Amino acid sequence: MTENAKKTLPRLDESLLTHLPPFSQLERRQIRVILDQASSRRYDEGAHIFEEGEAAERFFMLLDGYVRVVRVTQTGEQVTALHIPSGQLLGIAKAIGRESYPATAVTATESIVLSWPMRLWDTFVADYDGFATETYKTVGHRVGELNTRIVELATQQVEQRVANALLRLINQTGRKVDDGIEIDFPITRQDLSELTATTLHTVSRLLSAWEKQGIVESKRKRIKVCDPHALVELSQL
């Protein structure tokens, strides 16, 4: 854990997990047992929950906030691979047969995170209905998203890739605001360039052009899509 992690939170109520898919089929007494075995922490924005290559000693549930999943290339460049919204498991190395974390998890906002020792993974899978099936659905969804991005990189122009990335983000984390849908966590143009394997200059040029057309608004680490239909059309050009 990093120094940015704040002290452990007070004892949490079972209702925090009852609506989350990995635990939604369980009785409250079972959820109490699960919570009593968990550690809970509040992280500041920009904190590292775990690091790529570290031994996977714990797995995590993001109760509130957003997390960026970051990889480092052989040349030392940081690449944002995924964004994970609240209500999802992360650091689930055991589910993909790994003993170390394949990426770094960085909080995109102040976040509240539960974690358990990895030695409990097999117990959860064996004892709790729905835990395994929902976990593997999550793995499948993330693999599917990464495969989609690989296809986009191979077949689409930069404009299409950036448009598709914005559409995915508002679909996953969008919040309705006046005149549009805002990505509900701070995101920079640099973040968007990493997600789409393009340069900061190109992303800035595209967003500036789309702002003039009334399609998006971008300022102070916030991006709002004002005309989703126009963005869909751009993604299909």
Considering the domain architecture, whether residues 143 and 107 belong to the same structural domain is answered as yes
Q: Is the pLDDT of residue 130 over 90?
A: no
Amino acid at 64: D
Considering the domain architecture, whether residues 125 and 182 belong to the same structural domain is answered as no
Is the pTM of the predicted complex or chain greater than 0.85?
A: no
Range of the domain at 144: 5-152
How confident is the model at residue 8, as a pLDDT? 57
| Model confidence band, residue 212 (pLDDT cutoffs 50, 70, 90) | very high
Specify the long-range contacts of residues 139-148, CB closer than 8 Å, at least 24 apart: 139/92, 139/95, 139/96, 142/82, 145/82, 146/81, 146/82
How confident is the model at residue 114, as a pLDDT? 94
**Structurally, how many domains does the chain consist of?**
2
Considering the domain architecture, whether residues 12 and 109 belong to the same structural domain is answered as yes
To which H or E segment does residue 6 belong? Answer: strand 5-8
Residue carrying structure tokens 């550690």:
39
How confident is the model at residue 10, as a pLDDT? 63
Distance of CA 56 to the CA centre of its chain: 18
Q: Which of 42, 49, 46 is nearest to 111 (CA)?
A: 42
pLDDT per residue as tens digits for the range 48-68: 999 999 999 999 999 999 999
Q: Is the pLDDT of residue 190 over 90?
A: no
Q: Is the pLDDT of residue 153 over 80?
A: no
Considering the domain architecture, whether residues 106 and 223 belong to the same structural domain is answered as no
Q: Where are the beta strands (DSSP E) in 14-77?
A: 39-43, 48-50, 58-64, 66-72
How confident is the model at residue 89, as a pLDDT? 93
Considering the domain architecture, whether residues 49 and 110 belong to the same structural domain is answered as yes
Backbone angles phi, psi at 71, to 5 degrees: -115, 150
